Amino acid sequence: MCVVALIFLLSSLYLSATTEASKCSIDGFPLVKNISELPQDNYGRAGLSHIILAGSLLHGMKEIEVWLQTFAPGSRTPIHRHSCEEVFVVLKGSGNLYLASNSHGKYPGSPQVFPIFANSTFVIPVNDAHQVWNTNDQEDMQVLVVVSRPPVKVFVYEDWLMPHTAAKLKFPYYWDEPCFEAPATVRDEL
C-alpha cells in the first residue's frame, strides 16, 4: 500500500513539473527559442502570418514588443494608427508603405507612398496613420516589427478621408486578446 502511494505521489510531482505553463505566462518560456516552434496565426486576416517573438502580455515585456510578420502577395494591414512608435525591417520581398501626410488634422488625408524592399527599414511615428501593403504579386514580404509601449491600442480607418473621431478602436488587439485580463482606460492621444 505504501509503495502504491509513493508511486502515485512521485507521478503527481512529475506531471505537475512537466505540465506546460499557461499560454499567457512567462513561466515555461525558454530564454532561447526556435522561431519555427513559436505560435503563429493570421487572426482572421487572409495572407497574414503573425508571430510574437517578444511580447508584453505573452512574455512580460514592458517597453517594447517584437513581431515577425509575413504578408502573402496582395495582402496588407488595414489603414490604422496607434499610440506607439513602430520600427520595421523588411527581411524579404517588397511592397509599399502608405503614410498619412496629415495625421494630426481632422482626418489622415492622402498618404505618401514609399516603396519598401528587402533590407530596407522605416519608422512610423506615434499616431501617424499608415498601411503596409505587399504589392509584389510573386513573393511573400516578411518584416520584423518593433513597437514601443505595448500592448498596442489600434485605431482602424475605412479609408484615408475617415475622420479620426470615427476611427474604430481595437483594444486589446487580436494577438493580445487571449492574455488580456484587466479592462484598461484607453485614451486617444490625438
**189 carries a ligand binding annotation:** no
Q: With 0-12 CB in 10 A as exposed, 13-18 as middle and 19+ as buried, what is 167?
A: buried
**104 carries a ligand binding annotation:** no
The 3-state DSSP class for residue 107 equals coil
The 3-state DSSP class for residue 146 equals strand
Per the CB < 8 A criterion, the answer to whether 127 and 57 are in contact is: no
CA atoms of 190 and 177, how far apart (whole Å) = 24
| Nearest of 11, 37, 52 to residue 176 by alpha carbon | 52
**59 carries a ligand binding annotation:** no
Which residues share a beta bridge with 99?
112, 130
**50 carries a ligand binding annotation:** no
Q: Which residues are annotated as a binding site for Zn(2+)?
A: 80, 82, 86, 130
Q: Which residues are annotated as a binding site?
A: 80, 82, 86, 130
